[in-house]
Amino acid sequence: MFWSATTYYLFMFSNLPGLIESAGYIGLFFIIFAESGLFFGFFLPGDSLLFTAGFLASQGYLNVWVLTVLLVIAAISGDSFGYYFGKKIGPRLFSKPKSLLFNPEHAIRAGRFFEKYGKKSIFLARFVPVVRTFVPIVAGVGQMEYTSFIRYNVFGGLFWVILMTLGGYFLGQAIPEADKYLHYIILAIIVISVVPVVFEIWKNKKHVIR
């Protein structure tokens, strides 16, 4: 199971450039929205997609400013949707049976993360694969005050998208004739981005074995 899941992520990440070009602005908006707050979006490649999209923007495939604004909106609105979903569904979410699109263990892990970091978890979770999808839902389940939630949500969404997208963009700008090395650079991005995902899968497997 571990290696099949890892292979799946590697396959997805290896096709990111083609996915980004095919999806366009609207497709990228939906992917980030879903990964930020729809419980079935946990498997989507958020960090690496933002970084690769920024890099491709530096090569003229996308407008980096349009891209950044749209994805900031997607991240913030996705988290807000997740919050209201959690508020409406409540504890039933944690007793939902395991299925192809939902594993209650993900919600439980996000709950522990939220308990540990409190309100700051809304910001910190942006940089933790899988957890970032479920933390806003858990915040809604826990009836976190929305005014506090939206402050951390906006700050986290801005910081995450700008850091990742502009990081990829400026990397592309800094490398002379970067288009010649596009595949190698994308491969390096994929390897760096997949490490936390693989670690998360490995940690879950280790926990199950215990």
The DSSP-derived string for 58-92 is HTTSS-HHHHHHHHHHHHHHHHHHHHHHHHHHGGG
5 domain residue, yes or no: no
Which range (122-126, 159-163, 196-200) has the least confidence?
196-200
Burial class (CB in 10 A: 0-12, 13-18, 19+), 184: exposed
Q: Is 116 helix (H, G, I), strand (E, B) or coil?
A: helix
Cα(121)–Cα(131) distance, rounded to whole angstroms? 10
198 domain residue, yes or no: no
Q: Is 129 helix (H, G, I), strand (E, B) or coil?
A: coil
| Residue 194: predicted pLDDT | 63
4 domain residue, yes or no: no
| Residue 8: predicted pLDDT | 45
111 domain residue, yes or no: yes
Cα(75)–Cα(152) distance, rounded to whole angstroms? 12
- Report DSSP state, residue 105: H
Q: How many domains, in total, are found in the chain?
A: 1
Cα(64)–Cα(75) distance, rounded to whole angstroms? 16
199 domain residue, yes or no: no
Q: What is the pTM of this model?
A: 0.77
pLDDT in tens, 80-139: 999 998 888 766 766 666 655 556 666 667 777 777 888 888 898 888 777 888 888 888
Please give the residue range of the domain that contains residue 68.
Answer: 18-182
| Residue 195: predicted pLDDT | 67
33 domain residue, yes or no: yes
* pLDDT higher than threshold 90 for residue 67: yes
13 domain residue, yes or no: no
| Tokens representing residue 29 in the block | 């908006």
